[in-house]
Amino acid sequence: MKKYLSSLTVLILLSGCPSIQVKDQAGQDLVTAPKVYTLVNLHPDPIHMRMYAVNYQRPGLIPRCTEVDITDATSKKVTFINKANNQEYIYINHRAAAEPFETHLLNFFGTNCDKNAVKRLSEVDQKGIKSGRALVGMSKQGVIYACGIPPKHVTPSTDMDTWTYWLNRFNRQKVVFDSAGKVSQIIN
């Protein structure tokens, strides 16, 4: 009886987080794809090896175009291994992501990553991307590569002139763009 209850408990727990398919524009599922890359810099918590869909700008840095192996994807989290250092990370869905998790993930992971795209950007863009932070003078694309898409619940569109990023649970950073689409101010 005890063994039966243990098995039943495991089944109930597993059924609460069904696996999901995350298909890119070519229809390739990121979980089964032979190669998957980070499309932007990721900023994990370097102690707990996790990050959230609200896109906290933590001090850790997984550079854009890093090859990863997605080992599990549910509606609540994605587990992946950074192939550069064999470290496992968890990417956790967050209610404030304000979009379906599958859609959100496609802004951060993909089966192709143009490594030369950064070389076509300005020096200040390249410096910000390398450091994983927004700098005055960067383009919107440079900020996206450096920091990711800002959370949609505070920045519904990247067409806006002010983007808000969460540095952590309590602090935000506003990135303000001028009429030419360049960062003019960073407000912490």
> 59-89: per-residue pLDDT in tens?
999 999 999 999 999 999 999 999 999 999 9
Please state, for a pLDDT cut of 70, what percent of the chain lies above it.
Answer: 89
Distance in angstroms (rounded) separating the CA atoms of residues 51 and 42: 8
Would the pTM count as exceeding 0.85? yes
Structural tokens at position 33: 């794809």
Q: Mean pLDDT over residues 43-72, rounded?
A: 94
Structure token pair of residue 90 = 């968890």
pLDDT number for residue 17: 60
What pLDDT digit, counting tens, does each position of 149-160 carry?
Answer: 999 889 999 999
Answer with the residue of higher pLDDT: 169 or 109.
Answer: 109
Average pLDDT over residues 137-166: 96
Count of Cβ atoms closer than 10 Å to residue 94 Cβ: 19
H or E segment and range at residue 82? strand 77-82
